[in-house]
Amino acid sequence: MESQTAGITQLIYRSASKVIGDAIVETSSAYGDEVATVRRDRLLEIARFLRDDPAMAMNLPSFCTVIDWLGLDRPRFEIVYHLRSLVHGHRVRLKAALPEDDLRCPSLTSLWIGFDWLEREAFDMYGVVFEGHPDLRRIYLYDEFVGYPLRKDYPKDRRQPLVRRTFDE
């Protein structure tokens, strides 16, 4: 398995480098996944390559989340997409740094509609704005909710405004 994993990493790096050039910051392997850290402004291009290239054939969007690196010497947030190829059986994790003062990222819903609600969840819980998303609005919390509860600096005892429920007939 280890040699197969290393081979997939090299295939991703070689194939993508020919097509995409300097968009990939680094590659590695972790927990059976190939990890590609990419430039945020090229994320959509790299994702399209991973979906369309026959050697990659990433046809299953598995997961999307955000990591809050508060207090570490690096960009505070990181968007993480998990992709899988049902054809080849390999997995890729795409990561891109998001600076705290510019929490925006291209949406991948134009490539995989399965990321629709997952990106909405990241928006609702962390405040990441997905450019090009067809319906970016809160999914768990009400519109008057202030802040983003999964950020590490969100106060655990914060009180939210009470909202009177109305029922339209």
pTM: 0.85
Q: Are 24 and 16 in contact (CB under 8 A)?
A: yes
Q: How many residues are present in the chain?
A: 169
- Sketch out the chain's domains with CATH numbers: 2-107 (3.30.460.80)
- In 71-156, DSSP assigns E strands to 77-84, 91-98, 104-106, 129-131
CA-CA-CA-CA dihedral for 14, 20, 23, 27, to nearest 10: -20
- For the stretch 73-129, pLDDT in tens is 999 999 999 999 999 998 999 999 999 999 999 999 999 999 999 999 999 999 999
At 3 the pLDDT is 46
At 64 the pLDDT is 97
d(CA 151, CA 67): 9
d(CA 80, CA 143): 25
Provide DSSP, 47-68.
HHHHHH-TTT---EEEEEEEEE
Mean pLDDT for the stretch of residues 45-74: 94
Q: Which among 53, 63, 62 has a CA at the least distance from the CA of 11?
A: 53
